[in-house]
Structure 1
Amino acid sequence: MINQFWVLLRPMFSIPDAWCLSRILKLFSLGLGVALLVVACSTPDSQISDRATANLNGTNCRMVEHDLGETQVCSQPQQIVALGPHILDLLLSLDMQPAGYAEVFPFHRGDSFNNPSEQIPYLGNRVTTQPLNLGDRSNPSIETLTRLQPDLILGEAGGLRQNYDLFSKIAPTLLWEQRTAKGKWQENLRQLAKALGPEERAEAAIATYNQQIAAARAEFAPVVAKYPQVLVLGANQLVDIMVVNDSSYLGEVLEGVGFELVSPPAQNKSELTTSISLETLPQLDDADLIFILGYDMSVRKQQQKATNAVLNRVIDQQTAKIQPEWQNNAIAQSLKASQEDRVFFVTYYLWNGLNGPIGAQLILDELRQLLLSPG
């Protein structure tokens, strides 16, 4: 094609001019070939673009540690995916908003969370965006995730470990484990702040948390003096009970307020929770207060579009099975806290599902309602 083009133009030029044009056309031909080669080589073999590789060519790059290794993050991520409420808690604590979100209870079927305050439990009123709905946090929609073209993917390693390589081809990915461990959210928050910048945001959020704990310690001092021993149980039914130990996130919050957590005598100090039988409960009768974290995963099957009514029902259902069982069981009712009406039913979702600074604030608020409110 280039030679034919030259044959047509050559009579219009003198020999020197023609020689120059010939050189220009050869250079143009070479440049065009290189450009076509670059385009051909950069065309992806699948619909998933390797944004993580593109990220390596960015500016202001830093290596960020997380529980599955190290990930290079460049520039300032804007399109951020939060896979789960714990991650959303950390993200919002750093004054950042999600572009995509996946839930524990993925009952909302819209393409996006267009009314997050009614569609995302506990944290939705802090979400100012309308993030794309990625579905289940343990099995998010890859198609939607790819369409979003995020700059950063954040999640928990537990249910996502097998997809880490796939996620990393879409965008730089950070995954964390053991969110319920004492001190873990602070570590995760600092690593996330390094990825998002500036890192000082993490220290500010941690300082705010410490101030809230100190203030709550003063508020609850009279209650703690009267009822110092606290037993925290997680249960959906009495055939499956776990004790939350003091090495946990909840232990950190409650002991920060001044309470002492009651644990089974044979507890392994490194375990965050200990499974017990119903018959073991009388051995824990030192507890002055009992908090039972109800969880009912069957609500995941709900298909309704989220409204306030549905959202409240999902939250209320977390204690729907365990509360009547406890109230009608002779062993449970033999405990001192039961007889003195100091057993409180709360949701596992809030008390041991957010595991971040906002979650701690919400737990303190609920403690105030349960223990400090008149009547």
Structure 2
Amino acid sequence: MKKLLVIMTIVVLAIFSVGCTAKNTAIGQEPNSQVSGQEADKNEEEVKDAIKKISYLGNEYKVPSNVERIVITGSMESMEDALLLNVKPVAAITVGGEFPKMFQPIVDQAKSSGEKTQPNFEDILALKPDVILGSSKFPEDVMEKLNKIATTIPVSHISTNWAENLELLGKLVDKEEEAQRIIADYSKEIETAKASFDASLKDKSVVAIRIRAGNLFIYPEGVFLNPVLYGDLGFIAPEPIKLAKAQENISLEKLSELDPDYIFVQFSSDENADHPKVLEELQNNPIWKSLKASKEDHVFINVVDPLAQGGTAWSKSAFLKAVIESLSK
């Protein structure tokens, strides 16, 4: 009987001891766990609230230090830069309600931010962007609305700002070194191209035109594809291009007066919806056929994607390769 009593006493004491230990452990651990959770939340908030300053074309912009959610609206230049740096925006520009095929690698998970000149403010707001890349072409009221959603940077549509545009995106997504490498590589490509050209090309006249709304357009020396031709490769710009202040209509008669040796034509059906046969009609026009470039088979159509802006790192590199190939024929 005494042995049984001793055994029962030992069991009770053991159970009591385990219970106290568990209780003490729970009491001791709970505050530490709670503190750790609070610290983690605090750290997340600090990272989220941290900002960095981005300098671009003489202005300074404040953006989150870790930019992840980029919306591109209005700036096809930024679309091309994103393609080159493999940056996938949460929203991007659609053309006719669809993403252009050339941008498929970066828009597989993107929403539409609206058409090029028509941002969808409600959809952009719902996406909670870290930063918005807009266009320098946007009117003030559009920029004001976008800035109420998130910091909006008006990306330049001027071709000569191509390097600054690429550097901007590089700064935003911590790919500055890659952007700098692309810029440096293009400079090397230019020198290689110049060295490869036949001396007879030096005095040849070269013109790039774009067909829009059924009309022919030329651009100033610093716009569209012209910086590659006249700035980088050193061809002499014809007088009408030197005098152009913006996109300007040029008649076939005026073009025949220039009678260039080489013509690069960019044509997109999206920009000529009301004139679907304009390119065919142009090629069959007697004046067009009489041009030196036409007779010598020196007219090159859509050597780069017709939606390419011309004044971006992607466009410049692609067009340069196409020019080298075309002029060597």
State TM-score, norm by structure 2. 0.72
Task: Say yes or no: does 1:283 pair with 2:274.
Answer: no
Change (3 A) 1:323 1:231: same
Q: 1:121 is matched with which residue? A: 101
User: Would you say the 8 A contact 2:261–2:298 is kept in 1?
Assistant: yes
Q: Residue 60 of structure 1: CA displacement?
A: 4.3
Change (3 A) 1:261 1:234: farther
- State the identity as a percent: 25
Change (3 A) 1:65 1:357: closer
The aligned length equals 284
Provide the C-alpha distance between the structure 2 equivalents of 1:62 and 1:222, rounded to a whole number of angstroms.
47
Task: Say yes or no: does 1:254 pair with 2:245.
Answer: no
Q: 2:136 is matched with which residue? A: 157
User: Would you say the 8 A contact 1:102–1:137 is kept in 2?
Assistant: yes
User: Would you say the 8 A contact 2:211–2:217 is kept in 1?
Assistant: yes
Q: 1:293 is matched with which residue? A: 266
Q: 2:113 is matched with which residue? A: 134
User: Would you say the 8 A contact 1:230–1:259 is kept in 2?
Assistant: no
User: Would you say the 8 A contact 2:303–2:319 is kept in 1?
Assistant: no
Provide the C-alpha distance between the structure 1 equivalents of 2:101 and 2:310, rounded to a whole number of angstroms.
10
* Unmatched segments (≥5 aa) in structure 2: 1-44
Q: 2:219 aligns with which of 244, 247, 250?
A: 244
SS at match of 1:78: coil
* Unmatched segments (≥5 aa) in structure 1: 1-53, 109-118, 302-316
User: Would you say the 8 A contact 2:220–2:241 is kept in 1?
Assistant: no
Change (3 A) 1:277 1:348: farther
Task: Say yes or no: does 1:233 pair with 2:233.
Answer: no
Q: Residue 193 of structure 1: CA displacement?
A: 3.2
Q: For 1:1-375, list aligned pairs within 5 A.
A: 58-65=49-56, 70-83=60-73, 84-103=75-94, 105-108=95-98, 119-125=99-105, 127=106, 129-159=108-138, 161-177=140-156, 179-181=157-159, 183-197=160-174, 199-219=176-196, 221-222=197-198, 225=201, 228-236=204-212, 240-255=215-230, 258=233, 260-265=235-240, 267-268=242-243, 271-285=245-259, 287-297=260-270, 321-346=277-302, 350=306, 353=309, 355-367=311-323, 370-372=326-328
Q: Residue 164 of structure 1: CA displacement?
A: 1.4
Rg (Cα) greater in structure: 2
User: Would you say the 8 A contact 2:213–2:273 is kept in 1?
Assistant: no
State the one-letter code of the partner of 2:194.
Answer: R
User: Would you say the 8 A contact 2:209–2:266 is kept in 1?
Assistant: yes
What's the CA shift string for 1:276-327, capped at 9, x where partnerless? 3332123202x211112224445779xxxxxxxxxxxxxxx9xx53322222
State the one-letter code of the partner of 1:214.
Answer: E
SS at match of 2:207: strand
User: Would you say the 8 A contact 2:268–2:306 is kept in 1?
Assistant: no
State TM-score, norm by structure 1. 0.64
Change (3 A) 1:165 1:266: closer
SS at match of 2:311: coil
Change (3 A) 1:351 1:372: farther
Provide the C-alpha distance between the structure 2 equivalents of 1:203 and 1:372, rounded to a whole number of angstroms.
29
What's the CA shift string for 1:155-190, capped at 9, x where partnerless? 21324642212211222111124x243x21112223
Name the Cα RMSD after superposition: 3.5
SS at match of 2:264: strand
Change (3 A) 1:82 1:131: same
Change (3 A) 1:293 1:250: same
